[in-house]
């Protein structure tokens, strides 16, 4: 549920809500991309221990892909509707399945193939309605964020023997470092934000990114990855709801978004839903 608040925070920062404006100008997309991961990394920093620290060359690639995922998602979120941005980012499991079969040599399955076909059909439907939401380039950013998200998961899989806390902090602070030059050399220069804007950005990073990671890590001690996959589908379901409630004029989803989103979520539910373990014993 906390992960699903990105659309709400975005609209507050963009002055799209009936609430009093936080500053004379809306917060820029690069500002959001920078401070979101910066504050999330700072919140998670106290979880590190000396034994967690390590370095492998693959971590450089992981941070680069995570930075690209963060930037493309925030740009898609800021320039389009939250519903399209989050649904297209959740195409990541589809790319993961294809990478596993074609690149890693994993065995395919009818269930996995069906989820890919269904999910890509949903992506196609959303793109058919692209002219209603910032055009195809904005939707392309959302789809790219899903592709990069899949890349992050592949890197995390390859680095699974390293501390998960260290990898998460490294990703967030590294992504902030990667975005910083874009603020320095953008047309507006280094951002001049008000204290209320900085406060909401701090909440954005801490509440929407940092805290959910800690809860997820704790929950995975007792919940299987398959169950976790189904539970986290609350994010693409609730994200458009919160965004619509605070900014109905800006965030009203189109028929294409509803239809395409339903196909993507059905594909993910089919992919992650735990398989039956056998027939129940007779009484």
Domain assignment of residue 68, yes or no = yes
Domain assignment of residue 223, yes or no = yes
Total number of domains constituting the chain: 1
Domain containing 44: what range?
Answer: 3-271
Q: How far apart are CA 45 and CA 238, in angstroms?
A: 28
Domain assignment of residue 282, yes or no = no
The residues near 22 (Cβ < 8 Å, ≥ 6 apart) are 12, 13, 15, 194, 196, 197, 200
Domain assignment of residue 103, yes or no = yes
Q: Is the model's pLDDT at 280 over the cut of 70?
A: no
Domain assignment of residue 24, yes or no = yes
Rg of the chain over CA atoms, in angstroms?
19
> Residue 275: pLDDT band by 50, 70, 90 thresholds?
low
Q: Is the model's pLDDT at 198 over the cut of 60?
A: yes
Predicted local distance difference test score (pLDDT) of residue 225 = 65
Predicted local distance difference test score (pLDDT) of residue 74 = 94
> What is the number of alpha carbons within 13 Å of residue 77 lying toward its C-beta?
32
**The token pair that represents 90 in the structure block:** 């959740």
Q: Is the model's pLDDT at 109 over the cut of 70?
A: yes
Output 126 or 278, whichever has higher pLDDT: 126
| pTM for this entry | 0.87
Domain assignment of residue 277, yes or no = no
Q: What is the pLDDT of residues 3-56, one digit of tens each?
A: 999 999 999 999 888 888 888 888 989 999 999 999 999 999 998 999 999 999
Q: How far apart are CA 151 and CA 158, in angstroms?
A: 11
Domain assignment of residue 280, yes or no = no
Domain assignment of residue 89, yes or no = yes
């Amino acid at each position: 549920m906390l992960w699903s608040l990105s659309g709400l925070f975005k609209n507050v920062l963009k002055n799209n809500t009936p609430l009093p404006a936080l500053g004379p100008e809306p917060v820029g997309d690069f500002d959001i991309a920078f401070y979101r991961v910066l504050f999330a990394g700072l919140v998670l920093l106290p979880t590190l221990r000396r034994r967690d620290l390590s370095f492998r060359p693959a971590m450089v690639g992981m941070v680069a892909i995570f930075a690209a995922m963060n930037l493309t998602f925030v740009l898609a979120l800021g320039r389009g509707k939250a519903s399209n941005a989050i649904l297209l980012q959740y195409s990541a499991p589809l790319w993961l399945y294809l990478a596993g079969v074609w690149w890693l040599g994993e065995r395919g399955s009818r269930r996995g193939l069906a989820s890919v076909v269904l999910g890509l059909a949903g992506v196609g439907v959303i793109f058919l309605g692209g002219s209603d939401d910032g055009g195809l380039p904005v939707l392309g950013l959302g789809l790219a964020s899903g592709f990069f998200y899949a890349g992050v998961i592949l890197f995390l899989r390859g680095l699974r023997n390293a501390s998960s806390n260290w990898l998460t902090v490294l990703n967030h602070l590294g992504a902030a470092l990667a975005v910083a030059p874009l603020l320095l050399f953008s047309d507006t220069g280094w951002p001049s934000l008000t204290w209320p804007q900085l406060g909401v950005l701090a909440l954005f990073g801490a509440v929407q990114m940092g805290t959910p990671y800690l809860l997820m890590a704790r929950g995975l001690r007792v919940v299987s990855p398959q169950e976790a996959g189904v539970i986290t589908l609350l994010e693409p379901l609730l994200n458009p709801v919160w965004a619509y409630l605070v900014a109905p004029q800006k965030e009203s989803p189109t028929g294409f978004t509803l239809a395409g989103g339903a196909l993507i979520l059905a594909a993910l539910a089919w992919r992650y839903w735990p398989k039956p373990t056998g027939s129940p014993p007779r009484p």
